[in-house]
Structure 1
Amino acid sequence: MILLADVGRSKTHWSVNDTEGRVIRSSRWEGRQAVLSEPYKWLKETGSASFDGMVLGLAGLTALSSAEKTVLETCLKTWIRPEGHLVLCTDADLISACLLPESLAVSLGSGSVLIQSGREGSTRITGGWGPKFGDELGAGWWWIQLVRHVMLVAEGRKPTDAVSVWMEKQIGSGGRELLAVALQTSDEKAMQMAGEFLTESPDPAWISSTFSSGWQSLMTGIRWNQYRHVYFQGGLTGIPVIHQLILDHFLQSGVEHAPTRIDNLLKGAWFLWQHRSVC
């Protein structure tokens, strides 16, 4: 049996799989302490001594207390058989394992990351905003920078007021505070971060016709890049309204494949387990 665990700062999900990848037991979106206790309880209930191996996602472990870390270390020593394997990974590792060519993946949470996979399968990764901006809004940093980049290219001005109003409408009063932090970053760095995911300079007419619709313009921007697969994972479920707006747009926009909410635990983690010799 293999234990797959994705540990977030506030949310954790885990699964026990057999050696063929079939799920035997799983639990989702519990507190991070669950990964320290629930699988062990399940082991005792089944009369098993230990797991054959474990894939542990470390995105939220920096938030664990010293006592929890001690418990976790103890569990790892006793959960896995002496001849077993332990694979440690991050959100970027998990979500990268799920990507196909011509796809875009966004993972929100304490390990927020955004990954683009090109037509040839090459990947670009940026992220790590979770600890800086908070669990649910970590990857929102990229969206802000994309809007700033697009408007700077199209109009040559800083979009302070327009983006502030947009953020307030879409995310709430916290958007203005988040924007203020974003604007402290140099324009050069912001444009570099967002520009990596644009294939060419946007058409100003396209900007003016779509920006007023907020998230719609961002989604149009992704569609404009012709991604065939779009994946969302993690803390995005904590913003259900925005999540639905994104999914609705893609379902109506003619993307070849409907967007998928990645279950990193069952896909990425299992892939990493199968390829553990190169991890």
Structure 2
Amino acid sequence: MTNLARVARTKNDKLFDFFNYGILTIILLIVLYPLYLIIISSISDPLAVTAGKVVFWPKGFTLKGYEILLENKDVWRGYRNSLLYVVLSVAIGVSLTISAGYALSRKELVGRNFFMFAIVFTMFFSGGLIPSYLLIQQLHMMNTIWAVVIPSAVSAYNLIVTRTFFQTSIPDELLEAAKIDGCSTTRFFFSIVLPLSMPIIAVMALFTAVGEWNSYFPALIYLQDQALYPLQLILRSILVASRDAAQVTDGAIDPDVIAEQQQYKELIKYSLIIVSSIPVLILYPFLQRYFVKGVMIGSIKG
């Protein structure tokens, strides 16, 4: 009787696993299909894409959209600027976030609850765009790389996650033991805390890098020099230009030219998405565990 129950349970487990894998596979296909559609649309004949013939396989293979983008020197300059902004944002943002998060996690910090309340308050209420613009202007950071990097250097959410990590991972007894051995607070932070904090440092660096890479609004507001534009703003400018462009012949709009430009506009649109997403798509499979770890760290304790 026991053996029969064991066999029945095993069959039920296999059936359960079969349905689980089936449902997960369907969800995976639903999530991946939009990205796959964008990829095949970017290398297909724009007429076939517009006609809805590109569904599962590319039709009329072409790389014209990528050729148009990669021949544009502004795109390469945008890549360089975005990489510079990412490096500066990670260096400044992670340094400030880790230092402030550790300080706010220590019970001996006088007024830490007030500081934490003020930081959380900014997540719900802010001064708005006009005060921010006037502040950047008065600090003489307009049309400089610092107008893009400094305002977003510290995120309240990242700071809360970092403080939570230190509260749950660095016990007070460790600091007390270090002080008994004659270790100062500064040396304790650099010699003991930082080596033990590599997981949260990696998480914050990743969050900051992805956020800065996808950012375009601060550059749109604070930058006037196109030589400083990040990649996202360059791609936006190309997309807007391709949408608005129209060639006028003998005082009238040539319908053939408009049709051709409309085709290229669709092709460029899909190519833009792939070009701007390539770095994240390449890095994400290798860094996925840090995203998960960051979410778990923030969910342990408020």
Larger Rg: 2
Normalized per residue, the structure richer in helix is 2
Q: TM-score, normalised by structure 2?
A: 0.23
Q: TM-score, normalised by structure 1?
A: 0.24
Higher relative CO (Cα under 8 Å, sequence separation at least 6) belongs to 2
